[in-house]
Amino acid sequence: MLMYSNLSLELKENNTAFFHLEETDSTNLYLKRLAGEGFAQNAVIIADSQVSGKGRCGKSFFSPKGTGLYMSVLLHANCPFCDAVGVTTAVCVAVSEAIEEVCKKRVGIKWVNDLYFENKKVCGILCEAINDYKNGITKSVIIGVGINLSPCAFPDELKDIAGSLNVEKSLYSKLAHCIIRKILLIKFGSIDKSVLEEYRKRSIVLGKYVDYYVSGKKNTAIAIDIDSKGGLVIKNHNGEITTLTSGEITLRLNSTL
């Protein structure tokens, strides 16, 4: 807790609960359980390690002790579904900017919300909504951020794709603080123009050929823009333009359709 005492104080003043655990299953799950019990405050949790870190699309997130930052933020939104859609995009930019400010390293964004440094994924973001489907309301969102900060022994299946920012331990809490400050400033509603501009600037997919899947079938297209809702606009070999709103893409190494 000592490591995060400034952060804890600031959050208290902000009426936001703070938890720091040595280990948990998943910080997102921790906050989901808290929200399920009717916890009314916004909340932040940081864990030194996770035994069941969750990634997007049912994947896991490797979260060993001592080399990464694993944290989640619970925000009570109570807004129409459409106003929560842009949160992922805004978080991506907030985390990228915080990394640059604190660690002096510039990361790129791979749509939707993976951050890359020196061609390796160093950060994953998992935003989950707690919805009231009857009334079309997003009651709360849980924003999970996992960053590989120091080199570690990745399992074989991650060795070629995952990397670390390689930053000093003394910066871990500073970075957490900066990210949380920025996340707490995010407004629900349409995505700010400046956020979209920054997202586009940092995109490592725009202008590149990408593979994506529709009903299990692989397709290839060129990524041409990020739309106002954070969707990826793509053009296929027939010149047809469509927008991907979710799912996963992979960057193609060769540039043919």
Which of 72, 88, 96, 203 binds ligand BTN (CB under 6 A)? It is 72
* β-strand pairing of 137-148 with 120-132: antiparallel
Token pair belonging to 231: 């969707």
Nearer to ligand BTN, 114 or 198 (CB): 114
Residue 231 contacts ligand BTN per CB under 6 A: no
* 56 part of the interface to ligand BTN, by CB under 6 A: yes
- In sequence order, the 6+-apart residues with CB closer than 8 A to the CB of 185 are 94
Question: How many Å apart are CA 179 and CA 183, to the nearest integer?
Answer: 6
55 binding ligand BTN? (CB under 6 A)? yes
Contact call for residue 163 and ligand BTN (CB under 6 A): no
Phi first, then psi, for residue 51 (nearest 5°) are -90, -20
Query: In DSSP terms, which residues pair with 49 in a beta bridge?
Result: 23
CB of 8 to ligand BTN, least distance (A): 18
Give residue 256's identity as a one-letter amino acid code. T
Instruction: Report DSSP state, residue 60.
Output: B
Among 12, 59, 65, 200, binds ligand BTN (CB under 6 A): 59
Q: Which is nearer to ligand BTN, 179 or 222 (by Cβ)?
A: 179
Binding residues (CB under 6 A) for ligand BTN: these are 26-28, 50, 53-56, 59, 61, 63, 70-72, 114, 124-126, 144-146
